[in-house]
């Protein structure tokens, strides 16, 4: 039987050290190492170095677990647990010196596929603000030692909603059409540029809801657990129901259904 609190503590410990390294490298200046899926999709030397730190620390602490990282890919383990890691979520913010970036580390059980895995523990650390969001399955979501809960209701002015846009320019028109459908229920919209923090902010009641199409497993693994452990709901379009990348919706129960409908979650 896996102790989720132990996994959570390890995620917290490594996320803090990884975040400290990311911040150190940011202060020294950032070098773009390569572009990935699109010109706007970049990886910095720091992304690679921070992922290497996380991967090494996990391998030392739990050599039988698998690994799935944004920069170095997947390695199967034998324990049934996989660590899903985004070393620097919000890389474009990071490259621009915008403080909205985070280290995201999650432990999941089952196949390392988001449609079927069960998230057990996660940590999202924002090195510039020093905020550490963490959760374990059944243990609640926390900001440091403060228990988090999603907003119980939406005010008369409407919901504060976050979103994000994929790197592929051909998806932007569709994303903007969804924004147009969602706006009537929104008091305002936020696009902060780090999906893990968008999820964390829903958990903390700093957003009423968040939606984005095209998230990668490492963008949502820890954040989605934060939301459900804070009493929120997560919706995801099934890959077989749409040829496009899956749509994610994370929200307080007060607005989940209307937001999911407006965003196009079947
Ligand atoms: C990106 C950020 C961004 C979201 C993109 C993600 P990355 O992650 O979370 O907010 O809109 O979909 O890919 O590339 O900075 O790790």
**Which residue, 147, 172, 193, sits at the end of a domain?**
147
CATH number, domain with residue 143: 3.30.540.10
Return mean pLDDT, the chain.
Answer: 94
How far does CA 108 lie from the centroid of its chain? 14
What pLDDT is recorded for position 266?
Answer: 65
Q: Do residue 135 and residue 179 come from a single domain?
A: no
Whole-number Å distance, alpha carbon 2 to ligand 1 midpoint, is 30
State how many domains the chain has. Answer: 2
Among 147, 174, 189, the domain boundary falls at 147
- Examine the domain organization and report whether 202 and 134 are in the same domain: no
The reply to whether 180 falls in a domain is: yes
The pLDDT value recorded for residue 240 is 60
- Residue 152 belongs to some domain of the structure: no
Whether residue 153 lies inside any domain: the answer is no
Cα separation, 227 vs 229, whole angstroms: 5
Q: Are residues 48 and 13 in the same domain?
A: yes
Contact 121, 137 (CB under 8 A): yes
The predicted-structure confidence for 216-240, as pLDDT tens digits, reads as follows 999 999 999 999 999 999 999 876 6
Same domain, 140 and 254: no
Which pLDDT tens digit goes with each residue over 68-124?
999 888 999 999 999 999 999 999 999 999 999 999 999 999 888 888 899 999 999
Domain end: 147, 169, 196, which one?
Answer: 147
Pocket-forming residues, ligand 1, beta carbon under 6 Å: 70, 86, 89-91, 164-166, 193-195, 212, 214-216, 219
Rounded to the nearest angstrom, the distance between the alpha carbon of 195 and the centre of ligand 1 is 6
Query: For residue 42, which atom of ligand 1 is closest to its CA?
Result: 14
**pLDDT of res. 40:** 80
Q: Domain of 196: which CATH number?
A: 3.40.190.80
Does residue 2 surpass a pLDDT of 80? no
Whether 19 and 122 map to the same domain: the answer is yes
Percentage of the chain beyond pLDDT 90 is: 81
Q: How far apart are CA 56 and CA 48, in angstroms?
A: 12
Is there a single domain that holds both residue 143 and residue 257?
no
Using most ligand atoms within 8 A of CB, pick from 162, 195, 247 the residue to mutate for ligand 1. 195
Alpha helices, H only, 154-249: 172-182, 195-203, 217-229
Same domain, 44 and 174: no
CA atoms within 13 A on the CB side of 77: 22
Indicate if 9 and 77 belong to the same structural domain: yes
User: Are 17 and 114 within one domain?
Assistant: yes
Indicate if 44 and 138 belong to the same structural domain.
Answer: yes
Atom 13 in ligand 1: residue holding the nearest Cα: 215
Q: Six-digit token pair at 67? A: 């690994």
Q: From ligand 1's centre to the CA of 194, what distance in Å? A: 5
Protein residue with its CA nearest to atom 5 in ligand 1 = 166
Read off the pLDDT of each residue in 250-263 and give the average, rounded to a whole number: 97
Query: Is residue 66 over pLDDT 80?
Result: yes
Residue 175 labeled ligand binder: no
Degrees to nearest 5, angle at CA 253 with 247 and 254? 110
Residues 136 and 224 in one domain: no
Residue-range definition of the domain harbouring residue 51: 4-147
Confidence class for position 6, pLDDT limits 50, 70, 90: very high
pLDDT of residue 242: 58
> What pLDDT shows up at residue 244?
65
pTM of the model: 0.96
Structure tokens that stand for 193 in this block: 């540029």
Do 192 and 116 lie in a common domain?
no
């Amino acid at each position: 039987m896996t102790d989720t609190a132990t996994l959570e503590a390890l995620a917290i410990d490594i996320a803090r050290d990884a975040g400290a390294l990311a911040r150190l490298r940011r202060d020294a200046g950032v070098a773009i190492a390569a572009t990935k899926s699109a010109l706007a999709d970049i990886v910095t030397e720091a992304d690679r170095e921070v992922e290497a730190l996380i991967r090494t620390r996990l391998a030392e602490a739990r050599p039988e677990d698998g690994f799935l990282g944004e920069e170095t890919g997947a390695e199967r383990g034998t324990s049934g647990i996989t660590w899903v890691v985004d070393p620097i979520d919000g890389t474009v913010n990071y490259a621009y010196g915008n403080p909205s970036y985070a280290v995201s580390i999650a432990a999941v059980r089952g196949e390392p596929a988001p449609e079927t895995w069960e998230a057990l523990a996660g940590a999202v650390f924002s090195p510039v603000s020093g905020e550490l969001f963490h959760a374990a399955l059944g243990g609640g979501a926390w900001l440091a030692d403060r228990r988090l809960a999603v907003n119980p209701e939406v005010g008369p002015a409407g919901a504060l909603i976050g979103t994000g846009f994929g790197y592929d320019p051909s998806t932007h028109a569709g994303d903007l059409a969804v924004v147009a459908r969602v706006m009537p229920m929104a008091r305002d919209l936020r696009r902060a540029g780090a999906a893990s923090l968008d999820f964390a902010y829903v958990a903390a009641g700093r957003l009423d809801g968040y939606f984005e199409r095209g998230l990668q497993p490492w963008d949502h693994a820890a954040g989605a657990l934060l939301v459900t452990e804070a009493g929120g709901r997560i919706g995801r379009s099934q890959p077989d129901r749409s040829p496009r990348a899956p749509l994610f919706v994370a929200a307080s129960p007060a607005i989940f259904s209307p937001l999911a409908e407006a965003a196009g979650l079947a």
